[in-house]
Structures are given as C-alpha cells and as structure tokens.
Structure 1
Amino acid sequence: MSILLILQTRGRTTASALAAEFEVSVRTIYRDIDQLSAAGAPVYADRGREGGFQLLDGYRTRLTGLTDAEAETLFLGGLAGPAAAMGFSEALMTMQLKLLAALPPERQAAAERMAGRFHLDPSGWYQGETGGERLPELAQAVWSQRRISVRYERWSGPVDRTLEPLGLILKGGVWYLGARPAGEAKAWPRTYRVSNILTLEVAEDGFERPEGFDLAAWWAAASARFEAEVFTGEARLRLTADGLRRLRRLGSAYAAIVAATEMPAADAWVEVTAPIESVAHATSDFLRLGAEAEVLAPPDLRSAMRRMAEQLAALYSD
C-alpha cells in the first residue's frame, strides 16, 4: 500500500529509490511490484536510464489502507477556524469532502463521527483580536512570496517597514507574522503581531525564501529566546493556597513554579521566587492575586504595590 501511494503521489520512481525509502533490497521491491500487479494495480515499468515504476495515467487508489484511528482523525485537525481566517475555508471544506468520498463506507462513518463529537478551538477566552481582516492578504503574500509594506504599531509609536513574509503563526488565539526586512537575506526573521499592522500593501515583486527555512523550528527558537529575554528579574512572593492557584493562571512560567511547590494548608502561607519582566508589568500581574499574595522583594516592586494599593484605597474611600 505504501508503494502504491508513493507512485500515486510522486509519479515515476526507480526501484533503488523505493528500496532506499523502505530500507529493503531492490529484489524485495521487484517482488512487491509483482504482488501489486497480481492484485490488479496497473503498475508498469519503463526501462533505461530515466526509467522506473509508474502507475497507469489517471489511476487513483481509494484510501482503503487507513485504519479506524487514521480515518477518525482526518477531521480532527482543528484547522477550520484558522483556515477560514486566512481565506482557505472553501479549499479546506473541499479537501475534506474529497477525502471523505475516497474513504470506503466503513471508514466514512468513523470520520464523520469524529467530526461531530470533537471540536478544537485554538482561540483564547474574551479575546477581541483585531487585524483579522488582513490575514487573507498576508496569507497570500506568504504563499506567493511577495514583499509587503506595512505601517506597524510599536510600543514607541508607528513605524514603516518593507518585509519579506515567511510564515503565519497562531499562538494562544493571537496571530503573528514571521518576516525579515526586505533585502536583508542574512537577517534573522523577526516577529510581528498581526493586530499591530495598521496598514498593509502587497507588492508585485517577489523574494527568495531562505534555503531550508523551517517555520516551526524558527518559531520554537524565537519563542524560547523571547521567554528567556523577557524576564529580567525575580520577585519573592508570600501566598496562600488560593493565591498559589491564582498565580498559576498568570502564565506557563508561573504554572511551572506552582507545580513544583507544595500546596499550603488552608490557614498557612508559602513563599516562592518568581520571574518578572519589569516592576510595572509585575505590579499589574500581581494585583490580580489580590490579598492572597504579598510581595516581599525586591523593595521597588513592594513599594509599587503599596502605592497602587494606597491609590485604590483612596479611590474607594467613600
């Protein structure tokens, strides 16, 4: 079955290439081809230097080799929402219909049952993410390798950039664009939040993607580097059991600390050391812990928490 699917997708393939693919001898491949022919698969061989095995033009096998589990997971990709956002919903629906039609009847029921009982939603709660209207244009620019001109909202103010878009990433319900500055072939790609793109114009001129660029590997490295660089300090916290549970909701870095900390008794407190991005960010984050947490150190963060508490007390003094 694997040989049949390779011939169907790749076309003419040599016996030596098939032998290398399956780590068997060329003699074994010839024997398997004979068995395929005996089973009714229209495989024929072209001899000579450019020869190889090939299926009769127009032949397509039905996906009878799928197991129950494989057929069931066909519609468990969780891609319907992201595909629609990028303008590919019609293509995705057509693909699913073609896959379903190619399955034998007993596998069709399994695939439809999975689609009707499980739904994956990658978006976060209460997120009104903007910029989604630009996703189809961005997706086409990525796909067709077209440069884009954007006006981008940075923390310091809007800037104009000409970029070479390399890929789109959906992380926690937020879309990001991986791109490098136009004309800088050796530049490390940078990350741009799609919702911060104020204007977008797709150019006619194209660009060459970096040879061997792996979007998933780049994103993993970029995410790890960001997380390593974003936390510039540490804070010492004193928390109740409820405060510890609340700390877990502030992000994965805090969740890992909570997982490694023994939960205190109902009337007890526990101390932990947690990473912080800055005093301002930490003040905003730790206010969400309420009176179930106390900042012990550093002194400037403790002072910032006290000032914020005094401002809130004054605001609600009546």
Structure 2
Amino acid sequence: MRASRLISILNILQARGRATAPELAAECGVTLRTVYRDIDAMSEAGIPVYSERGSAGGYRLLDGYRIQLNGLSAREAEALFMTGLTGAATDLGLGAVMVGAQNKLLSAMPAELRKGAVQMRRRFHLDAPAWFAQADQPVYLPQVADAVWTQQAIYIRYESWNGLKERIVEPLGVVMKSGAWYMVAQGENTPRTYKISRIHALSSLDQHFTRPADFDLAAYWDASTLRLQHDLHENIATIRLSPTGIRMREIFLSAYIFSEMKLSPEPDEDGWYLATIPVGKSWHACIDLLRFGEDVEVLEPPELREKMREMITKMSRIYNA
C-alpha cells in the first residue's frame, strides 16, 4: 500500500508542479503525519522533492525531474488502453494525435507491460451510439472543440425548436451522448446546451473569455440531463405487456423509461405483465408505445389510451384502403 501511495504522490507532484501536505493527504486518504513520513522516505530514497514556505508554498519536485512509467501495475497499463475513444478523437480532429500519444505511451512502458496494453486495445472497443442509431459527425465539431480549448467566443446560427437563431456564445465544453455531440456554452452568463449538428454556420470571434472557475462540466451535464428527463416525462402511464413485449422492452424503450419502469412480479391469467412507466405528451408516448405493436395495451391515463385508439384506427384505414 505504501509503495502505491508514494507513486501517487510522485504523479501528483509531477502533474501539478506543486501540492500542499493537506492536498496530498486528501488525495491519498491518509493523515498529515503519514504524508510527512512519505515525503521524508522519498527524500531518503534520492527523489529530489523539496518544500517551499509561504501562502503559495507546498511540496514540489526539482525542475526537470521526471518519473518513468515503470511504476504502473499491469492492470493500470491495460486500463490506459481501454478508453476506446479513437472514433471520438477522430471526430474532434485529434485522431492522429491520439494514435501518436498511444504509440509514445507504449514505447515508454516496460516490456512486461506492453503486451497486456496491446491486447487490451485489440480486444475491447467502445461503440458509443445506441442501438439502431447512427453517430452524427457535425461539420463544425472541430471548430467548437478548438474554441473550447482556446476559450474563444464564437458566432453561431443555430436551429432551435423555434427556428433559426443567431447567437454569440462562449463554449465551455463538449459532450458526446449516445453518438451525438453537444456543446455547453454560456451566453449572458447562463450555461446552455446546443446540439452541434444543428449549427448551420459558425465563425470564431476575436474575443477571448475567462472560463468560470467553479464550472464543472460533468456536474452540469448530469444535472441538466436529469432535469430534461423529468421535464420530458412528467406523466405516468399504466400498460400491459405480452411475454414478447417483456423481452423487447429494453430495445423499444429509452434507457430512462426502462430504468424507471415498475413491473409486476407475476403475469396475469393471460400471461401479460402490468407495468407503470414515465411518459411525456400523449403524441410522443404513442410513438414510443406503438413500437410494441400488438404486444402492448395502454390502460391509463384515459387520454393516452384514447390517443392510441385514434392513431391505430387511422393506421387501419390506411392499410385497409
């Protein structure tokens, strides 16, 4: 455990340049006394770590000192090549950069770790898009990514639900969700989410911005996704599913609806299962549920059942004409 902790401290100091004892203790989950002992042990081992006093002080490594990758465990080395994000990097215009970085990382690894890392890259792959959905490749994705990195404001002509809008925004981050790319950007000091494939025109402005120090992209995305899911599925429907419908529910329902579904433990006398699911407006709910064909029956609410009956009747007239 101590050897692993010493390597962690080395990595922290190498990555950040400087860290205080309380910061190292928090990162490693140990007491300040333990950190002081670890620093002393590193110095005795010949590692050039020294302390700086003052409000901006802390521990740091001698300038130019670099540790090698021989501190990695075999599992850690393999995990580095399990990202599977080469496709995403290519979309961002960084495909060649990622390949070059991986090759450099492989060459720096000890020989005994190289084999496992290569096998991990060959045997595991991340396919981000959902089933029956194709990943989009927005025209302006590389420009958006560059603006995020350089903290440069951009002008966009964007297709919203209310038509084309023109905006000047400050890009804070890029997110890929189920194969689709989104930009999180602030305008008038309020972060908003934009689907990058809906950007019809983009130009970079000679205007740089300061990124909010307290903005956390992952936290923003999680909170906004949860809020959107609740807003889009404000109602509850009671349905019956046949045995075939039960087997197909994970494919036909969105991940959110599937995760929130409440299913009866036992079937009724016909072998069908009772379930409650979150739904949105009647028209959207019908589109989702009609995928099940004859293997679903809507019981409640009455307006959703009536909308299903209305749509099925119209479909019947079309095919019986």
What residue number does 1:36 align with? 45
Aligned counterparts, 1:111-150, within 5 A: 111-130=117-136, 132-150=138-156
SS of the residue corresponding to residue 70 of structure 2 reads coil
What residue number does 2:273 align with? 270
SS of the residue corresponding to residue 60 of structure 1 reads coil
Cα-to-partner distance string for 1:126-151 (whole Å, 9 max, x where unaligned): 43444522110000011111112111
**Partner Cα separation in structure 1 for residue 12 and residue 161 of structure 2:** 50
Contact 2:39 2:49 (C-alpha < 8 Å) held by counterparts: no
**Partner Cα separation in structure 1 for residue 239 and residue 59 of structure 2:** 68
What's the offset of the Cα at 1:242?
Answer: 1.6
Evaluate the alpha carbon distance shift between residue 61 and residue 257 of structure 1 in structure 2; reply closer, same or farther with a 3 A threshold: closer
In the alignment, does 2:258 pair up with 1:255? Answer: yes
Contact 2:261 2:278 (C-alpha < 8 Å) held by counterparts: no
What residue number does 1:60 align with? 66
Evaluate the alpha carbon distance shift between residue 48 and residue 167 of structure 1 in structure 2; reply closer, same or farther with a 3 A threshold: closer
Contact 2:14 2:66 (C-alpha < 8 Å) held by counterparts: yes
What residue number does 1:175 align with? 181
Q: Number of residue pairs matched?
A: 310
SS of the residue corresponding to residue 212 of structure 1 reads coil
Evaluate the alpha carbon distance shift between residue 13 and residue 315 of structure 1 in structure 2; reply closer, same or farther with a 3 A threshold: closer
Cα-to-partner distance string for 1:220-274 (whole Å, 9 max, x where unaligned): 1111111111113222212212223333331123323556432527942232222
What's the offset of the Cα at 1:46?
Answer: 7.9
What residue number does 1:214 align with? 216
Evaluate the alpha carbon distance shift between residue 135 and residue 239 of structure 1 in structure 2; reply closer, same or farther with a 3 A threshold: same
Aligned-partner residue type, residue 144 of structure 1: T
What's the offset of the Cα at 1:44?
Answer: 6.6
What's the offset of the Cα at 1:118?
Answer: 1.0
Evaluate the alpha carbon distance shift between residue 167 and residue 11 of structure 1 in structure 2; reply closer, same or farther with a 3 A threshold: closer
SS of the residue corresponding to residue 133 of structure 1 reads coil
The equivalent position to 1:164 in structure 2, one of 170, 173, 194, is: 170
**Partner Cα separation in structure 2 for residue 265 and residue 30 of structure 1:** 67
Where does structure 1 lack aligned partners over 5 or more consecutive residues? Answer: none
What residue number does 1:284 align with? 287
What residue number does 2:227 align with? 225
Evaluate the alpha carbon distance shift between residue 218 and residue 55 of structure 1 in structure 2; reply closer, same or farther with a 3 A threshold: closer
SS of the residue corresponding to residue 97 of structure 2 reads helix
Cα-to-partner distance string for 1:191-238 (whole Å, 9 max, x where unaligned): 111111121122120112122110001101111111111113222212
What residue number does 1:199 align with? 201
Contact 2:260 2:278 (C-alpha < 8 Å) held by counterparts: no
Evaluate the alpha carbon distance shift between residue 57 and residue 201 of structure 1 in structure 2; reply closer, same or farther with a 3 A threshold: same
**Partner Cα separation in structure 2 for residue 120 and residue 210 of structure 1:** 32
- What RMSD over aligned residues (CA atoms) do the two structures have, in Å? 2.8
Evaluate the alpha carbon distance shift between residue 70 and residue 269 of structure 1 in structure 2; reply closer, same or farther with a 3 A threshold: same
Aligned-partner residue type, residue 135 of structure 1: L
What residue number does 1:99 align with? 105
What residue number does 2:91 align with? 85
Cα-to-partner distance string for 1:66-90 (whole Å, 9 max, x where unaligned): 1111011111012211111111112
Evaluate the alpha carbon distance shift between residue 131 and residue 197 of structure 1 in structure 2; reply closer, same or farther with a 3 A threshold: farther
Q: TM-score, normalised by structure 2?
A: 0.85
Contact 1:245 1:258 (C-alpha < 8 Å) held by counterparts: no
Q: TM-score, normalised by structure 1?
A: 0.86
SS of the residue corresponding to residue 316 of structure 1 reads helix
Evaluate the alpha carbon distance shift between residue 79 and residue 259 of structure 1 in structure 2; reply closer, same or farther with a 3 A threshold: farther
Contact 1:63 1:104 (C-alpha < 8 Å) held by counterparts: yes
What's the offset of the Cα at 1:4?
Answer: 3.6
In the alignment, does 2:161 pair up with 1:155? Answer: yes
Contact 1:241 1:265 (C-alpha < 8 Å) held by counterparts: no
Evaluate the alpha carbon distance shift between residue 266 and residue 144 of structure 1 in structure 2; reply closer, same or farther with a 3 A threshold: farther
**Partner Cα separation in structure 1 for residue 136 and residue 82 of structure 2:** 27
**Partner Cα separation in structure 2 for residue 80 and residue 270 of structure 1:** 42
**Partner Cα separation in structure 2 for residue 52 and residue 247 of structure 1:** 56
The equivalent position to 1:236 in structure 2, one of 233, 238, 256, is: 238
Where does structure 2 lack aligned partners over 5 or more consecutive residues? Answer: 1-6
